[in-house]
Amino acid sequence: MENDLLEIRMSEAEVRQMSPLALAFIGDAVYEVFVRTYLASEHRNMSVHNLHVEAIKFVKAHSQSEVIKKLEQELSDREMYFFKKGRNAKSGTVPKNADVQEYRFATGFETLIGFLYLIGNRDRLNYLFRFIINLKNKGGF
């Protein structure tokens, strides 16, 4: 394959044509890799089980919902567009440990992360991830 699969970039127009749930699918994976990498680098001697337990605190729908509520005022109009597109998408399922509103906000958060990742906006992703780490360290979720 000619393209470097780790460096796929799409135009915003291409991303706008994607299903918000497909963007959330990508965003979920990107966020999970960020969280796992961050935790493993910060807690090098922690057991894998304990790393997993800590990761769940970041990635569960309740936490993502709290994060996006605190981030909303930081979002640009186009970022808000993708968040709302994901939040309003009908997925057909709700996890047993989250209510519908939390799950929808979490889906919007993941859609936003997927959008930023696919257009290659690493600076903005780093800003948001730093915001999340600071929020977590202050007991914000």
Structural domains of the chain sorted by starting position, each given as residue range(s) with its CATH number in brackets = 14-137 (1.10.1520.10)
CA 105/CA 95 separation, integer angstroms? 13
The per-residue pLDDT for 122 is 95
The per-residue pLDDT for 92 is 80
CA 110/CA 134 separation, integer angstroms? 19
Residue 92 Rama label (left phi>0; alpha psi -120 to 50; beta): left
Note down pLDDT in tens along the chain; length 141 residues.
456 767 789 999 999 999 999 999 999 999 999 999 999 999 999 999 999 999 999 999 999 999 999 999 999 999 999 999 999 998 888 777 888 999 999 999 999 999 999 999 999 999 999 999 999 999 988
28 classed as catalytic: yes
Q: How far is CA 56 from the centre of its chain?
A: 13
The per-residue pLDDT for 141 is 84
Backbone torsions φ then ψ of 138, nearest 5 degrees: -90, 5
The per-residue pLDDT for 2 is 59
Q: Which of 4, 28, 77, 123 is catalytic?
A: 28
The per-residue pLDDT for 1 is 41
